[in-house]
């Protein structure tokens, strides 16, 4: 097939759509046949149409660089990533299990601390946590849920195993791009939706609204919900405005809110103050309330923590939820699942070395050229070392950092992330990908059908983060009935 004639020579890892025998996997047969039928010129024309639509719709993402912030159009590839529904069901169950355990863990840390007292989770890790908020001790948020919105990153290794790479519990972003990717694909390839029938994802914003409404302190048919954004210069501002608009919520900055003497949060409106029931905050704890956290913050609302602790307003994710968004804590999630749920983990973690452990640290320092080193509280791919691709000087600098502050680093083996066909110039080439599904929890648990597939746009690169220049694809979950996920 002409479309893939050069593809195989570039294929070096597990590919999501093409197997090692150069056969199309069952889940992708219709897609690949249709693309071959269209031909490369038609596919390129549809890519140009997608780029024009992204510009017209104003879908942007800000990339921070040394030269300044670059507001760029959202990078998008027109070849979707595909997963079979019978495989997805297991992933969905694993993600729900994980978020249930994480919420039990956070609630326990701010109350009885049983998991620490029983020796399952090290007290030293808790004491050294940057994101443990002492002010949250003794608080019981509605339904016992702290992390209402979670974005977990999944990767597939060379043997086909899906691993959880990390859990993003503070302000996970990307869901608006997942939704917009689907809308663009529907415009570009309406005939493929008739043939392949990918499962829908369109109900996410109504599910998000229901999740937020479920934690409202006031029982009313339509609580007042606001999306609290840092403002137009934030990298994910497009997403903040998109979600507010889709939910029918108010998009606000800190200066639009105030806390009254009755410890109730109000929204300033032209018709006078209006009580707020739920805040979907998209700013970090540090900036949430200058009365409690950073006194120089101009992004948050003075007195907000008083209102939240008193229970007059709900905040998602709850302040303090970030204690579980720590790469050291991540290593203990399988233990949490066994401890709180009395179940075995459905999805495995990537094997992780904790540099705070002397034995692990010695191994890491001896194998820096084989491992990926990550700081424990960074996100977006910042501050990492990919050992096999680093220079001796870079490895030496990281060795010093690890020895100076071992609690701040973990290490993991360099996985051969799976690839998917991506349109590059005039042909399809394999590019490494990951997947970020979004999980909601309040009175119900919900997982998006698929998620945001992120793409490393450079050949051979493993960096898929949007903030590091990565791109994205639509993700299709397709029900194949009893057909196997993958050929033997």
Beta-bridge partner residues of 471: 455
Task: Convert the pLDDT of each residue in 400-442 to its tens digit.
Answer: 999 999 999 999 998 889 999 999 888 889 999 999 999 999 9
- 409-413 and 353-354 strand pairing: antiparallel
Q: How far is CA 56 from CA 60, 74, 173, 237, 469, in A?
A: 11, 11, 22, 17, 21
Cis check: omega of the bond before 436, within 30 degrees of 0: no
The CA distance from 406 to 456, in Å, is 29
Residue-wise pLDDT tens digits, 98-117: 999 999 999 999 999 999 99
End-to-end CA distance of the chain: 22
Residues 410, 412, 414, CA angle at the centre, nearest 5°? 145
25, 28, 30, 32: CA torsion to nearest 10: -100
The per-residue pLDDT for 487 is 40
DSSP state of 217: S
CB 386 within 8 A of CB 398: no
What is the CATH topology of the domain spanning 353-413? Dna Ligase; domain 1 (3.30.1490)
Strand spans (E) along 99-156: 149-156
Helix (H, G, I), strand (E, B) or coil at 2: helix
What residues does 430 pair with on adjacent strands? 421
| Domain spans in the chain, listed from the N-terminal domain onward | 87-147+198-341, 353-413
The residue with tokens 């191994």 is 363
Q: 212 and 225 in contact (C-beta within 8 Å)?
A: yes
Burial class of residue 263 (count of CB atoms within 10 Å of its CB; 0-12, 13-18, 19+): middle
Rounded to an integer, what distance in angstroms lies between the CA atom of residue 474 and that of residue 60?
Answer: 16
Q: Across the 488 residues of the chain, what is the mean pLDDT of every consecutive 10-residue run? A: 68 85 88 91 92 82 60 84 95 98 98 97 94 96 96 93 94 91 93 92 96 94 95 89 96 97 97 97 96 94 97 97 94 97 97 95 94 82 82 92 93 92 89 96 96 89 75 92 52
Output the pLDDT for position 395.
93
- CA dist 458 and 200 (Å) reads 30
> What pLDDT is attached to residue 69?
61
At 64 the pLDDT is 59
* Chain centroid to CA 79: 21
DSSP element (H, E) containing 279: strand 278-281
Which residues are within 8 A (CB) of 390 and not within 5 positions of it... i.e. 6 or more apart?
Answer: 368, 369, 398
Write the CB contacts of 258 (distance below 8 Å, at least 6 apart in sequence): 265, 266, 268, 273, 301, 302, 303
CATH class of 87-147+198-341: alpha beta
Taking the C-alpha atoms of residue 180 and residue 59, their distance in angstroms, rounded to an integer, is: 8
How far is it, in rounded angstroms, from Cα 99 to Cα 172?
14
Distance CA 350, CA 330 (A): 10
Could you count the other beta carbons within 10 Å of the beta carbon of residue 361? 18
């Amino acid at each position: 097939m002409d479309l893939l004639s050069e593809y195989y020579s570039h294929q070096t890892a597990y590919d999501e759509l093409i197997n090692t025998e150069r056969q199309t996997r069952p889940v992708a047969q219709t897609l690949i046949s249709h693309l071959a039928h269209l031909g490369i010129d038609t596919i390129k024309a549809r890519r140009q149409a997608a780029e024009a639509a992204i510009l017209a719709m104003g879908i942007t993402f800000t990339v921070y660089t040394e030269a300044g912030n670059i507001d760029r159009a959202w990078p998008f590839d027109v070849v979707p990533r595909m997963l079979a529904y019978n495989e997805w069901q297991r992933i969905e169950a694993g993600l729900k299990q994980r978020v249930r355990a994480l919420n039990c863990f956070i609630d326990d840390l701010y109350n009885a601390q049983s998991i620490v007292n029983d020796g399952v989770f090290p007290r030293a890790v808790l004491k050294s946590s940057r994101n443990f908020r002492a002010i949250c001790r003794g608080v019981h948020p509605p339904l016992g849920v702290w992390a209402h919105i979670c974005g977990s990153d999944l990767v597939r290794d060379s043997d086909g195993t899906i691993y959880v790479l990390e859990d993003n519990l503070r302000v996970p972003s990307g869901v608006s791009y997942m939704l917009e990717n689907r809308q663009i694909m529907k415009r570009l390839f309406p005939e493929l939706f008739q043939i392949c029938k990918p499962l829908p994802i369109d109900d996410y914003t109504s599910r998000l609204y229901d999740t937020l409404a479920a934690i409202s302190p006031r029982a009313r048919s339509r609580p007042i919900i606001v999306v609290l954004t840092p403002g137009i210069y934030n990298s994910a501002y497009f997403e903040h405005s998109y979600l507010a608009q889709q939910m029918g919520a108010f998009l606000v900055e800190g200066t639009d809110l105030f806390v009254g003497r009755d410890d109730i949060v109000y929204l300033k409106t032209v018709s006078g103050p209006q009580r707020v029931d739920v805040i979907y905050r998209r700013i970090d704890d540090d900036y949430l309330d200058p009365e409690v956290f950073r006194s120089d913050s101009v992004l948050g609302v003075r007195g907000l923590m008083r209102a939240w602790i008193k229970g007059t307003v709900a905040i998602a994710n709850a302040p303090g939820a970030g204690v579980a968004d720590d790469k050291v804590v991540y290593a203990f999630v399988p233990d949490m699942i066994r401890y709180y749920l009395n179940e075995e983990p459905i999805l495995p973690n990537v094997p992780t070395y904790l540099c705070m452990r002397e034995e692990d640290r010695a191994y890491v320092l001896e194998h820096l050229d084989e491992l990926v080193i990550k700081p424990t509280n960074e996100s977006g791919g910042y501050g990492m070392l990919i050992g096999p691709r680093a220079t001796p000087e870079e490895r030496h600098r990281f060795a010093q950092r690890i020895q100076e502050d071992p609690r701040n680093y973990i290490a993991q083996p360099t996985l051969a992330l799976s690839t998917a066909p991506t349109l590059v110039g005039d042909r399809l080439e394999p590019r490494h990908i990951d997947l970020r599904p979004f999980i909601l929890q309040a009175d119900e648990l919900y997982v998006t059908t698929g998620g945001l597939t992120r793409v490393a746009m450079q050949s051979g690169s493993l960096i898929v983060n949007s903030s590091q220049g990565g791109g994205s694809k639509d993700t299709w979950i397709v029900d194949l009935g009893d057909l196997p996920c993958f050929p033997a």
